[in-house]
Homo-oligomer: A and B are copies of this chain.
Amino acid sequence: MKRNATLNKLSTQRKAEIFKALGHPTRLRIVEKLAEGEQCVCVLLEMFDIDMSTLSRHLSVLKNAGIVVDERRGKNIFYSLTCPCILNMFDCMEEVLSDR
């Protein structure tokens, strides 16, 4: 275990990135929506009262964190979760919320 100290530290860094990416209401709602299945950017845009460019930034944050992937089909780009396990975490969240 000791010899993985550096590796573990990197991993902590990566984990922090992921948490950070989820630490924004808009991005969280995007992830919740993607839990229903892949979505076109145009659909996501309708959910929020924000500029398209802002939405695009949020999506790239999620993408850089490895939470979502995008795929182009025709004119549209579709986003989906890389790992549906993310959803399990939300139940944990609820617990934390109620324990407050």
Given A96-B67, A99-B83, are A24 and B16 neighbors across the interface (CB < 8 Å)? Answer: yes
**CB pair B99 A66 closer than 8 Å:** yes
* Overall SS of chain A's interface: helix
A59 cross-chain contacts in B, Cβ below 8 A: none
**CB pair B25 A22 closer than 8 Å:** no
- Cα distance A12–B82 in the bound complex, in angstroms: 21
Other-chain contact of A12, B21, B25, B88 (Cβ < 8 Å): B25
Asked if A1 CB lies within 8 Å of chain B CBs, one says no
Q: Which of A13, A23, A88, A95 has the most CB of B within 10 A?
A: A23
A residues 59-88 touching B (CB-CB < 8 Å): 66-67, 82-83, 85-86, 88
